[in-house]
């Protein structure tokens, strides 16, 4: 009897509906942002999750960023003219950076006389605190918006920030998105390593919309790229990028913005003046294609690298520009399938008229006396020995080289007089101008970023 | 060392203290079921004074002080036929082993008479366990290890039906990853050593200390519930029935590696040959408390930067032969008048591996969107060279003491150690940055497991109807990975060398220390009633883990790199005073990253069960019951008062009731048909629920923990038919199916800019398969000395996972990670006892399995089938000496990982390790 009871109760025990439940607790310290007054005129900002709030950073204090400081969705951060902001030293997740999250706004309006300066902790407003060439002392400025990209997912995390930090996500559907106004801002000595072979760019623009105003901005001595665009369609005028450790201007992920009056001055360890990709490597041919319109640039190379690489289905327009002093010219990627047929790639973009390089002048690129086929080249994937996996049909090579002249590009026989110390050509490059397409562009009669005067003088560390 | 000598001296004293008489020992079992019989009466026929005893808890007996000569012994037991064994030779100071199998009483015969020489214990004892067990199990014994020449538990496990071994360390039972295997040592939980896993690395255990490994494939309530593939128990050698002494040494030659002048290595300290970090690879004392940032305190920064050693790239030296040595001694003696058995075992092995013709590549699918065939384009293609030296050491002391024949206690002290020195060089073209890459990785890893286990078996009651056993175990393991060095540089085609921080990580030194302590206690009771056996028990396990890592980047500003790491890191290039540069070499350390990579965690599991074993009819045995488990897991990143990013996660489960039913139908004298249903759990590892991201420097990806992760619930169904034949022959067929609710899978998050993996609960997954096992003596074709064996497993699994990320969704429909669609093992044994020759040929292969989950639409990387064939032959050359020659990896197949796209294969990694020829000598008193 006892046994039967035991058996039965056991069966009942086992037969109880096998419901399960779980209790869990997750704590991530998430408190108000700390504005810690250090008493010596400096205020340290520590963001524990709530962002800067809608506030003003005044010029009478020095503001020190500790770690990633975000302007959260719905917040507006105003920075007065003449304000000094410093990033604490650190690498990886400890890197300091100012990040304007989607829906957040930055109003950083300086003047030529009183620019806003963002630099490393050891530096000062005048820029004499550290070596002019010192790089990677802090992070950089990151602006994230809601415009379109060609990523496989409509939102993506910006480089170096894990997806678990949702304030690091960018992308959306509003190309007119407005992340605020940036004028007369100098970003110095940034680009610290944030792990995985990533550094923070001087200015990172992730899916920033056309409502955002960015003018008179300098990025100098950044460890990574000067300005990098990830999709979106911001419109940038009067930009200086100098002595950066990687590419000067970099675009990817379906960037379709506009640019005019861009200058770069490269240092010995700089890479390309322009690195231009169409889409992320896992979605190169996604839409919208990368097809920005860029007019009036002056790219002064270091005689070691390339002027521009277009690859991963990049398109775009470069017109009325000056390219000087570089080892290699402009290089576009050609990809073919197993049947040696051209697939959607930058070369296809060129064929379809989605890549235009027109009415530009070249001096001392490759060599003082060079030929179009050396300036306009094609690259293909390579094997372990660096040998090409396949060769480009010669007709296609010729077609691209011939395009140099038909698109109104020319090789200058004499020095236009553009150098690192003087970006204003001593011989103005006028005539044979491409016409300007939209209201954003200022119609000028000269090539390159500068007419008769140096607009970068006075408010930059460079000049 | 002194301690070891002392122990040996004590042990020798034990076995020399013999009387002038002999001993007869053995075990009494039920011939039909294989069960050991407790309380059978043994007596030496005609002895005066009478020499008699009864069998103990394990069915063992020991007739002592038997005069030298020939005797008959008699065994009697209630309801069994009496058995008399005659012509039992007893020699002075020797132990004669006589095992007895009793037949249940029938009407016809009252007594069985056997001559001692006819008793031959050829049936594999594991098969007996397998046969009598009501749950489904398979195993390998020490006999098999030595036949196959397997040196560690991981390689030995390959011989078990349905088991494959991943990365030489982790076992996959029935295609289920290590997450779904539970590994215990003598029934007690032991800590694992992988920072991101919850499992035990099996290559830590030298086969020298192992008696057998049993894989239980169906759950019964007395086992821990967190497994689905298999519950693996490693039993260390138990004490012998008589004096044994063994010494063996072996030497191996691999033409590709041994005595190779170009063997890649680096300076790894004076104790690396013992698998120990001598401290020379530790973080320099000056850097232990952090490093100032650049321009904060340059003098201090430079002082600290100068204290790091400058060995960042591989050296070439001459490698040695593979060699291994082992020693063991054991005996059964009287201590305070009671039997005390002990075994002491030491082993050491050192193995070199290398290749200089490996390939390594990463590819990317371009333009494969919208149903159009794309192209697989290389991101990087490199040649790979590797030099690896692995040390495995182990020490075991096992003591067992019988207070009475029915009360036994045991103690085991185990230390397993491993040291791995790995040097890897890759050179090749990186298309994404148009540069030639040069990559150096230098790593040393020290692993130690220390375990102290105490256990007891007790039998009570008038008819021995109550049994109790208990285990209390404390173990601690350490993973010390000092100074893992990465030094990468490049040269642009035709250009000079450089270090490009933008294209790949700066030179880095990485240090990791992981400690885990496990405390495991369990007690089991059983009550044998007339027709029903009732069992109940409880257990409590506590785990405590601490993982700490520190990472340093080596940077410089404007310093030229000329192609030599030594020059680059030279003293004159360190710091602010380096000539003509913005700033020379300096070290930086990221505190937050280190704190995210450092965590403390603990887990409490309390469990209880009740179960019944009964006969539903004479032919049907049923075992059923339920287990309850309470689980509390807690993890926090390293707490620092000044740290503002403190995170923790904890989870508690209160209501896990896990039922099991195992049914065995005796379809014939030696034939079983079994059915089993059970519900089990799959628990996440500590790191997996920690709510923060960390960068896995070794793998080159970021991993994000998920605090919402739930443990998986698995419903298991098994059906098996098996037929046992004499001399250990067997044929069996099993079919099984498993349904996982919320299995834990690793997927890449398409929103991340870099490769970022997330732990997620997939919706469900389903796995089913069939297993065949054959073991057949070739006597039927007149080759009675040959035994053929094989096992085959065919599996299929599918994971279903769908997640929305904004407008696009990620849907995963693929096999479970690491699951092979098939696993095949074959072997042929030859045994000639007269000539003392035995030989074995073994073949093992498992089908392609998912190895690397890639980003986006690029095809995943699969590990291709890798066939391995080993042969060995041994011969007894004198009474106690035998020699063995073996060739392993005869096929020397390429180890390949590939991408497959549009039916083309692209190599992600390929290398081969060459054949190894070895010879060993063994001295054995048994």
Distances (CA, A) of B388 to B260, B263, B320, B354, B358: 12, 9, 12, 6, 14
**% of chain B with per-residue pLDDT over 70:** 91
Query: Of B73, B74, B86, B79, nearest to B32 (Cα)?
Result: B79
Per 3-state DSSP, what percentage of chain A is helix, strand, and coil (rounded to 5)?
10, 35, 55
Compute the distance between CA of residue B386 and CA of residue B166 in angstroms, rounded to an integer: 19
Pairs of residues, one from chain A and one from chain B, whose beta carbons lie less than 8 Å apart: 291
Along the 463 residues of chain A, how does pLDDT read in single tens digits?
Answer: 444 544 444 444 444 333 444 566 666 655 678 899 999 999 999 888 889 999 999 999 999 998 899 999 999 999 999 999 999 887 666 688 999 999 999 999 999 999 999 999 999 999 999 999 999 999 999 999 999 999 988 899 998 788 888 899 999 999 999 999 999 999 999 998 776 667 789 999 999 999 999 999 999 999 999 999 999 999 999 999 999 999 999 999 999 999 999 999 999 889 999 999 999 877 888 899 999 999 999 999 999 899 999 999 999 999 999 999 999 999 999 988 878 889 899 999 999 999 999 999 999 999 998 999 999 999 998 777 778 889 999 999 999 999 999 999 999 999 999 999 999 999 999 989 999 998 899 999 999 999 999 999 999 999 9
Token output for B418: 């491993």
Chain B residue at shortest CA distance from A243 = B558
Please name the helix (run of DSSP H) or strand (run of DSSP E) that holds residue B688, with its range, or none.
helix B686-689
Please name the helix (run of DSSP H) or strand (run of DSSP E) that holds residue A10, with its range, or none.
helix A2-15
- Looking at residue B79, its pLDDT comes to 76
Q: Is the ipTM of this complex over 0.95?
A: no
Find the distance separating the first CA and the last CA of chain A, reported in whole Å. 100
The shortest C-alpha distance from A200 to chain B (Å) reads 10
* Contact (CB<8Å) B695/A223: no
* Contact (CB<8Å) A67/B657: no
The shortest C-alpha distance from B634 to chain A (Å) reads 9
B828-872 pLDDT, tens digit per residue, is: 989 888 888 989 898 989 889 888 877 777 888 999 999 999 999
Q: Is A351 on the interface with B (CB under 8 A)?
A: no
- The string of DSSP letters for A109-149 reads E--SSS-EEEEETT--TTS-SS-TT---SS--EEEE-----
**pLDDT interval class at B645 (50, 70, 90):** low
Least confident of B301-305, B645-649, B768-772, B810-814: B810-814
Compute the distance between CA of residue A87 and CA of residue B849 in angstroms, rounded to an integer: 47
Distances (CA, A) of B157 to B42, B202, B455, B477, B720: 38, 9, 26, 22, 21
SS (H, E, C) B846-869: ECCEEEECCCCCCCCEEECCCCEE
**pLDDT interval class at B104 (50, 70, 90):** confident
Which A-chain residues 403-442 have CB contacts (< 8 A) with chain B? none
Q: Is A33 on the interface with B (CB under 8 A)?
A: no
Q: What is the pTM of this model?
A: 0.85
- Dihedral of CA atoms B121, B127, B130, B131 in degrees, nearest 10, equals -70
CA angle B285/B278/B280 to nearest 5° reads: 40
Give residue A58's region: left, alpha or beta (phi > 0; psi -120 to 50): beta
Measured in degrees and rounded to the nearest 5, phi and psi for residue B76 equal -130, 145
Which residues of chain B have a CB within 8 Å of the CB of A205?
none
Mutation for A interface: B367, B438, B577, B807, most A CBs within 10 A = B367
Chain centroid to CA A180: 17
Token output for B302: 């430079």
Which residues of chain B have a CB within 8 Å of the CB of A190?
none
The shortest C-alpha distance from B365 to chain A (Å) reads 7
Query: Of A362, A382, A380, A360, nearest to A371 (Cα)?
Result: A362
Distances (CA, A) of B504 to A403, B438, B509, B562: 35, 11, 14, 18
Mutation for B interface: A102, A146, A163, most B CBs within 10 A = A163
């Amino acid at each position: 009897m006892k046994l039967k009871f035991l058996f039965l109760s056991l069966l009942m025990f086992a037969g109880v509906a096998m419901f399960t439940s779980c209790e869990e607790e997750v704590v991530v310290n998430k408190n108000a942002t700390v504005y810690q007054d250090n008493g010596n005129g400096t205020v340290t900002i520590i963001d524990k999750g709530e962002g800067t709030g809608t506030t003003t950073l005044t010029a009478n204090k020095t503001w020190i960023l500790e770690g990633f400081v975000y302007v959260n969705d719905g917040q507006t951060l105003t920075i007065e003219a003449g304000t000094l902001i410093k990033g604490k030293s650190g690498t990886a997740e400890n890197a300091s950076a100012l990040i304007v999250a989607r829906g957040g706004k930055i109003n950083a309006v300086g003047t030529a006389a009183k620019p806003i300066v963002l630099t490393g902790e050891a530096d000062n407003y005048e820029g004499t605190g550290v070596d002019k060439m010192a790089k990677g002392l802090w992070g950089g400025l990151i602006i994230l918006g809601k415009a379109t990209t060609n990523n496989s997912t409509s939102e993506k995390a910006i480089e170096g920030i894990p997806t678990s930090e949702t304030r690091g996500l960018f992308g959306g559907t509003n190309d007119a998105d407005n992340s605020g106004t940036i004028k007369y801002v100098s970003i110095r000595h940034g680009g610290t390593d944030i792990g995985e072979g990533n550094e923070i760019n001087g200015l990172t623009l992730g899916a920033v919309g056309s409502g955002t105003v960015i003018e008179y901005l300098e990025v100098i001595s950044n460890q990574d790229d000067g300005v990098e665009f990830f999709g979106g369609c911001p419109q940038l005028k009067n930009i200086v990028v100098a002595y950066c450790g990687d590419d000067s201007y970099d675009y990817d992920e379906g960037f379709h913005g506009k640019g005019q009056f861009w200058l770069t001055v490269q240092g010995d360890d700089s890479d390309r003046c322009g690195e231009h990709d169409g889409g992320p490597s896992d979605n190169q041919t996604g839409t919208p294609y990368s097809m920005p319109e860029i007019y009036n640039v002056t790219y002064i190379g270091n005689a070691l690298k390339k002027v521009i690489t277009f690859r991963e289905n990049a398109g775009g327009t470069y017109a009325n520009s000056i390219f000087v002093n570089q080892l290699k010219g402009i290089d576009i990627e050609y990809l073919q399938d197993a049947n040696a047929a051209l697939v959607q790639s930058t070369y296809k973009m060129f064929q379809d008229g989605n890549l235009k390089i027109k009415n530009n002048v070249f001096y001392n690129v490759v060599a003082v006396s060079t030929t179009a086929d050396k300036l306009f080249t094609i690259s293909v994937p390579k094997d372990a020995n660096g040998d090409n996996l396949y060769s480009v049909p010669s007709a296609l090579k010729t077609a691209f080289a011939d395009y140099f002249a038909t698109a109104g590009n020319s090789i200058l026989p004499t020095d236009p007089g553009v150098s690192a110390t003087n970006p204003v050509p001593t011989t103005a490059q006028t005539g044979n101008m491409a016409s300007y397409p939209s209201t954003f562009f200022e119609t000028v009669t000269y090539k390159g970023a500068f007419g008769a005067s140096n607009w970068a003088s006075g408010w930059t560390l460079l000049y | 060392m002194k301690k070891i000598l002392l122990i040996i001296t004590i042990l020798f004293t034990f076995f020399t203290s013999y009387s002038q008489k002999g001993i007869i020992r053995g075990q009494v079992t039920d011939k039909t079921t294989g069960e050991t019989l407790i309380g059978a009466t043994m007596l030496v026929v005609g002895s005066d004074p009478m020499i008699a005893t009864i069998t103990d808890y394990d069915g063992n007996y020991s007739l002592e002080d038997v005069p030298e000569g020939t005797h008959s012994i008699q065994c009697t037991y209630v309801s069994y036929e009496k058995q008399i064994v005659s012509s039992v030779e007893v020699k002075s100071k020797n132990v004669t082993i006589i095992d007895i199998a009793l037949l249940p009483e029938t009407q016809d015969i009252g007594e069985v008479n056997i001559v001692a020489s006819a008793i031959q214990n050829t049936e594999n004892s594991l098969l007996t366990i397998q046969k009598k067990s009501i749950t489904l199990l398979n195993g390998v014994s020490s006999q098999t290890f030595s036949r196959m020449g397997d040196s560690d538990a991981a390689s030995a496990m390959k011989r078990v039906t349905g088991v494959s071994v991943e990365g030489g360390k982790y076992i996959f039972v029935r295609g289920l990853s290590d997450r779904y295997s539970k590994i215990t040592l003598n029934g007690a939980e032991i800590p694992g050593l992988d920072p991101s896993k919850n499992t035990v690395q099996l290559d830590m255990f030298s086969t020298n200390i192992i008696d057998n490994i049993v894989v239980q494939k169906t759950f019964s309530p007395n086992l821990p519930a967190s497994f689905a593939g298999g519950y693996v128990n490693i039993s260390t050698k138990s004490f012998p029935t008589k004096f044994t002494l063994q010494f063996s040494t072996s030497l191996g030659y691999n033409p590709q590696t041994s005595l190779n002048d170009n063997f890649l290595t680096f300076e790894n300290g004076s104790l690396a040959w013992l698998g120990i970090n001598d401290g020379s690879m530790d973080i320099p004392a000056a850097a232990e408390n952090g490093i100032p940032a650049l321009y904060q305190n340059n003098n201090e920064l430079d002082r600290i930067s100068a204290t790091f050693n400058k060995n960042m790239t591989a050296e070439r030296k001459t490698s040695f032969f593979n060699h291994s040595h082992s020693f063991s001694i054991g005996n059964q003696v009287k201590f305070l008048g009671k039997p005390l058995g002990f075994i002491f075992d030491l082993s050491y092995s050192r193995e070199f591996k290398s290749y200089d013709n490996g390939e390594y590549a990463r590819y990317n699918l371009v333009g494969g969107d919208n149903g159009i065939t794309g192209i697989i384009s290389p991101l990087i293609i490199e040649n790979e060279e590797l030099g690896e030296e692995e040390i495995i050491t182990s020490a075991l002391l096992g003591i067992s003491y019988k207070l009475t024949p029915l009360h036994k206690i045991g103690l085991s002290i185990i230390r397993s150690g491993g040291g791995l020195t790995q040097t890897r060089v890759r050179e090749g073209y990186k298309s994404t940055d148009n540069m030639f890459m040069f990559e150096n990785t230098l790593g040393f890893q020290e692993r130690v497991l220390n375990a102290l286990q105490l256990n007891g078996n007790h039998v009570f009651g008038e008819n021995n109807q109550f049994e109790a056993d208990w285990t209390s175990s404390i173990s601690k393991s350490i993973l010390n990975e000092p100074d893992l060095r990465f030094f990468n540089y490049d040269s642009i085609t035709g250009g000079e060398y450089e270090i490009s921080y933008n294209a790949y990580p700066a030179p880095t030194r990485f240090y990791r220390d992981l400690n885990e302590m496990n405390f495991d206690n369990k007690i089991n009771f059983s009550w044998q009633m007339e027709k029903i056996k009732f069992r109940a028990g409880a257990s409590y396990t506590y785990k405590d883990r601490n993982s700490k890592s520190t990472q340093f980047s080596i940077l410089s500003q404007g310093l030229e790199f000329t192609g030599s790491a030594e020059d680059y890191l030279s003293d004159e290039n360190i710091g602010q005073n380096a000539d003509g540069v913005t700033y020379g070499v300096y070290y930086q350390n990221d505190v937050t990253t280190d704190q995210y990579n450092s965590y403390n965690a603990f887990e409490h599991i309390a469990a209880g069960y009740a179960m019944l074993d009964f006969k539903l009819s004479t032919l049907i045995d049923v075992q059923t019951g339920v287990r309850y488990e309470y689980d509390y897991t807690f993890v926090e990143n390293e707490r620092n008062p000044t740290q503002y990013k403190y995170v923790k996660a904890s989870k508690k489960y209160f209501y896990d009731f896990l039922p099991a039913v195992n049914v065995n139908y005796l379809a014939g004298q030696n034939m079983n048909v079994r059915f089993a249903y059970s519900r089990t759990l799959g628990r996440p590892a500590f790191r997996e629920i920690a709510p923060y991201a960390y960068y896995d420097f070794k793998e080159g990806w970021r991993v994000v923990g998920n605090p919402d992760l739930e443990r998986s619930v698995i419903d298991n169904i098994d059906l098996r038919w098996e037929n046992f034949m004499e001399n250990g022959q067997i044929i069996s067929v099993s079919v099984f199916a498993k349904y996982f609710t919320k299995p834990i899978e690793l997927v890449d998050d398409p929103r991340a800019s870099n490769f970022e993996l997330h732990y997620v609960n997939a919706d469900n997954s389903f796995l089913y398969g069939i297993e065949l096992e054959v073991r057949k003596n070739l006597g039927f074709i007149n080759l009675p000395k040959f035994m053929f064996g094989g096992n085959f497993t065919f599996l299929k699994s599918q994971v279903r996972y769908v997640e929305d990320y904004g407008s696009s969704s990620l849907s995963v429909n693929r096999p479970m990670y690491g699951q092979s669609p098939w696993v095949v093992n074959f072997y042929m044994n030859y045994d000639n006892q007269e000539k003392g020759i035995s030989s074995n040929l073994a073949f093992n292969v498992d089908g392609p399995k998912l190895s690397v989950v890639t980003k986006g639409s690029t095809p995943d990387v699969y590990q291709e089938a890798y066939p391995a064939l080993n042969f060995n032959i041994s011969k007894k050359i004198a009474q106690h000496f035998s020699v063995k020659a073996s060739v392993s990896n005869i096929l020397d197949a390429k180890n390949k990982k590939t991408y497959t796209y549009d039916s083309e294969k692209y190599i992600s990694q390929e290398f081969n390790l060459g054949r190894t020829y070895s010879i060993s000598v063994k001295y054995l008193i048994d």
